[in-house]
Structure 1
Amino acid sequence: MRKTTRKRFRFFVGIDVSRDFFDYTLKKGRLTIDQGREENNANGIDRFIQALAAVETYNHPVCVFGMEHTGVYCNHLLRLLKKSKANIVHENALAIRNSLGLVRGKTDQLDSERIASYLYKNREDLVLWKPKRDVIIHLGVLSSLREKLNVNHMSVRHTLNEYAEFADQAVADLWSASTALTLSSIKQDINDIETRIKLLWTSDKSLKELMEIMMSVPNIGEKTALQILIRTNEFKDITDPRKFACLAGIAPFPYQSGKSLNGRSRVSYMADNRLKSLLHLCSISAIRNNPEFSTYFKRKTREEGKNGMLVVNAIRFKLVLRVFACVKGNRMYQSNYLTKRRDKVLIS
């Protein structure tokens, strides 16, 4: 992960962003000195920046702006604030909410004030936002679009199969004829997107090297490698496999308290479900096709009596460890890599 900033901030601006407007609160330390609402466009953002500059004692270099992840709604603010050389924190909404303790009520203005309070409270540990490269942004957009089109395609196909099995033949034929062009068009769009995705990462030297390294790990396919690449921002935002495991929802956490609660460790529901799903498919493929993991799964479940999903989760993490180890070492996967290293040490 990027290192936290040690810059001493004096002004804290919390921004609550919606589609058409954004509310803001300016604090100097704990004291609220300005609040307002502007339109979420270039003109509104210019007025917002000018209003801050007009505040007495305001100092832009020692001010930090914070906002929650709200999809594309933050894009105008992020771009124009970065252009003004602002310090920006782009944080997960749940992280902000959980850090503030017990809160009551909710309005846009109140949310902006809470974000400003979060910035002040965590001023020593803030991680400043840095824009991703355009190629990573484009890969993320295309990957998300491909997933949505796949969902739509499967939805129509599922209904078509149900009609074919349970409805009259005439009704099934009517449904099939009415959706044939839609299904064909969606499938063509998916194929075109996949071609564009491959062209993007193969045309970029560093991305191509990272993708080839990740795909050299047995049972890690192109889609899984691409999602790892996007979510880690080329391994710039996340370099620790354990932190990545937390993001992917495959890191188990203990659930114990005193004598009354002694539950088994389990993964958190707060996870990137797309990543988790892809890693699950990789682990199932590894159990079926990789003798090493097949033997490991049988030993843990049959001989040691471990829960099957617990072992599957362990295999997910083993795959993640291998990917990160290869990327860190800038090398392709080698099944006997550790053996070679031991032999080298013994010889020397």
Structure 2
Amino acid sequence: MEKLLQTQACAFILGVDVSKDSLDVCLIDSQTQQASSQKFNNNKEGFRRLKAWCKLQSCGAGPETLACMEHTGLYTRQLVHYLLARDVRVWLESALQIKRSIGMARGKDDRVDAQRIARYALLHQQQAKCVNLSSVTLERLKDLQANRSRLLKALQSIKVTIKELLQIDPVSGKTLEQVNKKAVRGLEKSIEQVEERMQGFIRQDQSLKQKYDLLTSVKGVGKVLATSLLVYTHGFNRMEDGRKLACYCGVAPFEYRSGTSVRGRTGVSRLANKELKHVLHLAAMNSVRYNQELKAYFERKVAEGKSKMSVLNAVRNKLLHQIVAVVKRGTPYVIKLDKV
């Protein structure tokens, strides 16, 4: 979960470049602007050495310290937990955001990257979004979701190969189908078990269960989309605004024009969560078939001459705004055909 950093500036800024085995850190004293750099192992022993080193720099590595690092997924988890347990303020920032704020940079060096992260955090600390220790449920859901994605890709790879070979060489295709029958069945069973486990974790958490029920009250929103949104929004403690969530999913339209000569087509940005966008697209396709409200909207706009893809993108936006609305309101969605 996230919260905005308080207006009071932090006494120390700790920039951390995280890799699988090591941590390159840069500590800046906010008052003197003096910077110190060091390297540690990315394990518990390395964390203890990091804390001892910070104390040598007159930094208590507590609430007065803001630690900023790029979000590298699994590699940051142990460090984040260690820092949060000691009341250090932790800011996980987008690597792209930091890179673009720096401007043109040549070369690649972990030590220099840590210094750049620290300087970025020092300049933008008032906009920092600090994280709290993520709930065990959300972390487990995230791990299971990643596992489900890997299983789906493996299953799809096998099925597509068999299908293509059946069209070209039916004999070899049948052979491949037979030898992979147990593998396909096993993958399908594993996916079912993962989904059941995810549902079990959601049922155990009352807050997540309540939000999950609200999400699935919107017709067209199934368990996959609802779970994905809970994971990526940290239980809707991030991106509570429909426009921001649409931008994150890559379905918010943006104009492309400048002066009198540049008149590009309005379109969506490629900077998006592709996996979430794919799931949302499937939900939109399902909605224009079975959600009477969105079906009527889709048919009316297509009849007016709008392209089906642009209308479908509008449906994706409507779904997200409906989802955000029911979560904010705390009551299930009710279809009103007279407002289509």
Please tell me whether residue 37 in structure 1 is matched to residue 39 in structure 2: yes
Give the deviation of 1:205 after TM superposition.
2.1
Give the deviation of 1:16 after TM superposition.
0.5
Corresponding position of 1:219: 220
Q: 1:104 to 1:222 in 2, by over 3 A?
A: same
- SS of structure 1 residue aligned to 2:16: strand
One-letter amino acid of the structure 2 residue matched with residue 14 of structure 1 = G
Corresponding position of 2:108: 106
Asked whether the 8 Å contact 2:16–2:114 carries over to 1, the reply is yes
One-letter amino acid of the structure 2 residue matched with residue 98 of structure 1 = R
Question: What are the residue-to-residue correspondences of 1:151-166 with 2, within 5 Å?
Answer: 151-166=153-168
Please tell me whether residue 233 in structure 1 is matched to residue 234 in structure 2: yes
Corresponding position of 1:90: 92
Please tell me whether residue 133 in structure 1 is matched to residue 110 in structure 2: no
TM-score (ref. length: structure 2):
0.93
Please tell me whether residue 283 in structure 1 is matched to residue 317 in structure 2: no
One-letter amino acid of the structure 2 residue matched with residue 120 of structure 1 = L
Give the deviation of 1:265 after TM superposition.
2.1
Rounded to whole Å, the distance in 2 between the matches of 1:288 and 1:242 is 24
Please tell me whether residue 320 in structure 1 is matched to residue 309 in structure 2: no
Give the deviation of 1:57 after TM superposition.
6.5
Rounded to whole Å, the distance in 1 between the matches of 2:194 and 2:60 is 47
Give the deviation of 1:336 after TM superposition.
3.5
Give the deviation of 1:174 after TM superposition.
3.4
Rounded to whole Å, the distance in 2 between the matches of 1:59 and 1:333 is 46
Deviations 1:175-224 (A, max 9, x none): 23332222222121111111111111123222222111111111111111
Give the deviation of 1:38 after TM superposition.
0.8
Corresponding position of 2:18: 17
Question: What are the residue-to-residue correspondences of 1:151-190 with 2, within 5 Å?
Answer: 151-167=153-169, 169=171, 171-190=172-191
One-letter amino acid of the structure 1 residue matched with residue 125 of structure 2 = R
Corresponding position of 2:192: 191
- SS of structure 2 residue aligned to 1:154: helix
Give the deviation of 1:167 after TM superposition.
2.2
Question: What are the residue-to-residue correspondences of 1:299-314 with 2, within 5 Å?
Answer: 299-303=300-304, 305-314=305-314
Identity of aligned residues (%): 30
Rounded to whole Å, the distance in 2 between the matches of 1:101 and 1:38 is 28
Deviations 1:92-113 (A, max 9, x none): 1011111122222211111101
Give unmatched runs, 5+ long, in structure 2: none
Q: What CA RMSD, in Å, does the superposition of the two structures yield over aligned residues? A: 2.0
Q: 1:3 to 1:33 in 2, by over 3 A?
A: closer
Rounded to whole Å, the distance in 1 between the matches of 2:44 and 2:258 is 51
Question: What are the residue-to-residue correspondences of 1:329-348 with 2, within 5 Å?
Answer: 329-336=329-336
- SS of structure 1 residue aligned to 2:127: coil
Deviations 1:230-280 (A, max 9, x none): 111111122211111111111112222212222232111111112111111
Q: 1:141 to 1:58 in 2, by over 3 A?
A: closer
Give the deviation of 1:338 after TM superposition.
9.1
Give the deviation of 1:59 after TM superposition.
6.8
Q: 1:179 to 1:145 in 2, by over 3 A?
A: same
Corresponding position of 2:124: 122
Asked whether the 8 Å contact 1:5–1:125 carries over to 2, the reply is no
Question: What are the residue-to-residue correspondences of 1:221-300 with 2, within 5 Å?
Answer: 221-300=222-301
Corresponding position of 1:344: none
Give the deviation of 1:74 after TM superposition.
0.7
Q: 1:127 to 1:338 in 2, by over 3 A?
A: farther
Rounded to whole Å, the distance in 2 between the matches of 1:168 and 1:218 is 41
Q: 1:56 to 1:224 in 2, by over 3 A?
A: closer
Asked whether the 8 Å contact 1:15–1:65 carries over to 2, the reply is yes
One-letter amino acid of the structure 2 residue matched with residue 282 of structure 1 = A
Rounded to whole Å, the distance in 2 between the matches of 1:179 and 1:244 is 40
Q: 1:191 to 1:84 in 2, by over 3 A?
A: same
Rounded to whole Å, the distance in 2 between the matches of 1:223 and 1:21 is 35
One-letter amino acid of the structure 2 residue matched with residue 330 of structure 1 = G
Give unmatched runs, 5+ long, in structure 1: 340-348
Asked whether the 8 Å contact 2:51–2:61 carries over to 1, the reply is no
Please tell me whether residue 206 in structure 1 is matched to residue 199 in structure 2: no
TM-score (ref. length: structure 1):
0.91
Rounded to whole Å, the distance in 2 between the matches of 1:76 and 1:289 is 44
Q: 1:11 to 1:158 in 2, by over 3 A?
A: same
Which has the larger displacement, 219-228 or 180-189? 180-189
Give the deviation of 1:172 after TM superposition.
3.0
Give the deviation of 1:62 after TM superposition.
2.3
- SS of structure 1 residue aligned to 2:69: strand
Aligned residues: 337
